[in-house]
Amino acid sequence: MASEWCIGIIGGSGLYDIEGLEDEQWIAIETPWGDPSDEILCGTLNGVKVRFLPRHGRGHPIAPSELNSRANIDALKRAGCTDILAISAVGSLREAIEPGRFAIAEQFIDRTTARPSSFFSSGYVTHVSMADPVCSRLSEMAAKAITACKGKVATGATYIAIEGPQFSTRAESRMYRQWGADIIGMTAMPEARLAREAELPYSLIGMVTDYDCWREGEAVDVAQVVAQMKDNGQLAREMVAKFVGSLPKKRKASPIDTALDDAVITAPDEQEPEIMARLDAVAGRILG
């Protein structure tokens, strides 16, 4: 079944706006989970509906640990998004993934500890599969868009999400390399988990700003990160435009569109109406 695209763009550090939007307007969206990071910038780009949310808010006032990811994903779902392209500044844990390169995540390791990671709870217990946490279709199109914009891209990366806001110790950075992680950041989890629960195909593009601190004599500092973010930011804007412009005219259904099928385990007579009422956007398809 084919339908129209509506692309949600989550802009991370260094990406606070989208160039070239037509009919743009910032719209406030209320959610049962509280306030999202900011209003959502709605418009069209190359004839495609786009919904942009700056992950940390305009001006970057919100710390990674204090992001309301449930509200962010819920708001994008309410705004009509069919898919999410998330962009985030990351550190590199591999020599070959140098600062300035873009890295597309394929897997995640979650080391966050203080963030609500699910829309579902007692009264409506649900288990979705996270075996393949990103949408391969979106990731492949994103990689092609980066290359078309003359950017360097690494694919198939494993992203490790840490709580922050501090950067890693050297021991941690070296351990993460041993675990098989390729890039490191503070925001993709639980964002990717929540996108899956909301049946939104999700792809994460990491803009590499630094080598973390696993290399002898190197350490991460904000000035270094900000400088590289500025260099990466314009390419990211060009990539978004190229990505949106290269989408097929019609959107074919994705298996992720029905991720909640057979995921609810609570028996119907034990399901809590108050819990279900908060799920009207993220799980509205199965709630009827």
Q: Which domains does the chain have, with CATH numbers?
A: 2-287 (3.40.50.1580)
Residues annotated as part of the active site: 210, 212
What 3 state SS string does 106-156 have? EEEEEECCCCCCCCCCCCCCECCCCCCCCCHHHHHHHHHHHHHCCCCEEEE
In this prediction, residue 231 carries a pLDDT of: 76
How far apart, in whole angstroms, are the C-alpha atoms of residue 130 and residue 108? 9
The predicted pLDDT at position 1 comes to: 59
Q: How far is CA 134 from the centre of its chain?
A: 9
Q: What is residue 16's predicted lDDT score, i.e. its pLDDT? A: 67
Helix 136-148 crosses helix 222-245 at what angle (to 10 degrees)?
Answer: 100
Digitized pLDDT (tens) for each residue of the chain, 288 residues in all = 568 999 999 997 666 678 788 999 999 999 999 999 999 999 999 899 999 999 999 988 999 999 999 999 999 999 999 999 999 999 999 999 999 999 999 999 999 999 999 999 999 999 999 999 999 999 999 999 999 999 999 999 999 999 999 999 999 999 999 999 999 999 999 999 999 999 999 999 999 999 999 998 888 877 777 787 777 788 899 999 999 999 999 999 999 999 999 999 999 999 999 999 999 999 999 996
The pTM of this model reads 0.96
Distances (CA, A) of 41 to 57, 165, 193: 12, 27, 23
pLDDT at site 254: 98
Upstream peptide bond of 36 is cis (omega within 30 degrees of 0): no
Bridge partners (DSSP) of residue 177 are none
pLDDT at residue number 241: 94
